[in-house]
Amino acid sequence: MQLLLGRPSGLLFYLRYNFNMPWEILKWVGLVIVIVFAGTALTGAPFVPSRRKELDIIFKKLYKLSKKDLLVDLGSGDGKVLKAASDFGARALGIELNPFLAIFSKIRFISNPRVSTKMSDFFHGDLPLDTTVVYVFGDGRDMKRIAKKVEEQAQKMKHPVYLISHAFEIPGHKIQKRCRAYMLYKINP
């Protein structure tokens, strides 16, 4: 031990000159995480989780989810909406831009066959043909664009799609039902 501590190539020398290495790595990892979250917030809404109690209420009163439904959550974040939908018997697909949240959800639901997630931009893809409900806790600036894309998808699917919006109304669309801060829209083909 004496030799190890006394030599410049020993343990103290190593710790003295390399102790900051893990902190540098953590700083860079932290910076990457901040950039990813900020980047997704600029292209879509920031990550704000929905409350489970409210989800239970809206899936009973606003739109009664059942086994026949496929709910697509735009910006699925940590997967709370996906979990609630699957607890009601529905299948659920999460579409998430943030790679960290998409991976978290994939891992979280690895053993749940009713839930799937994909890292994707909703505006550059299609909804599954059997989609019945779209859930969005979006941003007011994007609601008109989201509704237009859901309309296009409903035309391709040749059946109506219900859209549940948390907090933001869709300009030019009639609200079918309200429950707390949630609004239900029926988007016809």
Residue 46 has pLDDT above 90, yes or no: no
Looking at residue 68, what is its pLDDT? 97
Q: How far apart are alpha carbons 78 and 124 in whole angstroms?
A: 22
Q: How many CB atoms lie within 10 A of CB 37?
A: 15
Residue 173 region by backbone torsions, left for phi larger than 0, else alpha for psi between -120 and 50, else beta: beta
The fold for domain 52-187 equals Rossmann fold (3.40.50)
Under DSSP, the state recorded for 150 is: H
| Residue scoring higher pLDDT (152 or 11) | 152
Name the pTM for this structure: 0.78
Q: 14-21: long-range contacts (C-beta < 8 A, 24 or more apart)?
A: none
Least confident of 16-25, 53-62, 87-96: 16-25
Q: What is the pLDDT of residue 23?
A: 60
DSSP state of 118: E
Domain residue spans in the chain? Answer: 2-43, 52-187
Rounded to whole angstroms, the Cα distance separating 33 from 83 reads 25
Mean pLDDT, all residues of the chain:
85
Beta strands in the chain (DSSP E): 70-74, 91-96, 115-119, 133-136, 161-166, 177-179, 182-187
Structure tokens of 160? 């109506």
